Amino acid sequence: MKKNVVSMPLAFCLLLLSFTEVFSVTTHSGNNSPADFPVPANVPHLLFYIQRDPNTNTICYQLNTDTEGHLSERSPVNTFWIKYEEGGVRKELNYLQRKFAYGINVKSTGKSTYELRSVAYSKLPLSLRKDRNNEYHVYASIDKRECILSRVFIRIDGGTFWSPNVLYIELTGTDALTGKTVVQRIKPS
């Protein structure tokens, strides 16, 4: 039950502030499942991404490296849009989106590990760290298992600008121990 309390405020904040790009709340047609949304391709070092109604535009979280492939310790995560509704162009987040909705606060915890906190909901910890193969991933608790986070999907169906009707939030990742895909769908209570 506690998971719903933690995840729903995050979803609400993300949805509310994502409407700085879309100025009206649309009703979901019911025809598209999360699987029908595009998967970001050709994004080097993609960590995870967020998708939500009312459109297929996607927020990507990418490992921020220099030209030699070294991690930027000051700013290890780069966040941007892929605007599928505009032909798949890449655009930077605007100030409000960066500061109040989709931005990430980063705190070094030593030995090339970082604690990540969403600016929209700082109580949900994520961890950026290397795996056994020396590759960076973002780890999150999904269905009470430590997983490599790959996707967050937020389904809304109408509502208003200030009160969107959140049907569910779906977290998808890979179990760090078993390698199996883990999906957790959280419904508002």
Number of domains in the chain: 1
Instruction: Confirm whether 65 is domain-assigned.
Output: yes
Predicted confidence at residue 25, as pLDDT, reads 37
Tokens of 40: 């970001």
Per-residue pLDDT of the chain (189 residues; tens, 9 = 90+): 444 444 444 444 444 444 434 333 334 444 567 888 999 999 999 999 999 888 999 999 999 998 888 999 899 999 999 999 999 999 999 998 898 878 999 999 998 899 999 886 676 689 999 999 999 999 999 999 999 999 999 888 887 655 668 788 888 999 999 999 999 998 876
Residues 6+ apart with CB under 8 A from 88: 38, 82
Instruction: Confirm whether 39 is domain-assigned.
Output: no
- Report CA-CA distances (Å) from 149 to 8, 63, 133, 176, 180: 18, 13, 17, 10, 12
Predicted confidence at residue 28, as pLDDT, reads 41
Q: Where are the alpha helices (DSSP H) in the chain?
A: 2-18, 95-96
Instruction: Confirm whether 59 is domain-assigned.
Output: yes
Instruction: Confirm whether 180 is domain-assigned.
Output: yes
* Residue 142 three-state SS: strand
Domain span at residue 140 reads 2-28+44-186
Predicted confidence at residue 188, as pLDDT, reads 72
CA-based end-to-end distance of the chain = 9
Predicted confidence at residue 31, as pLDDT, reads 52
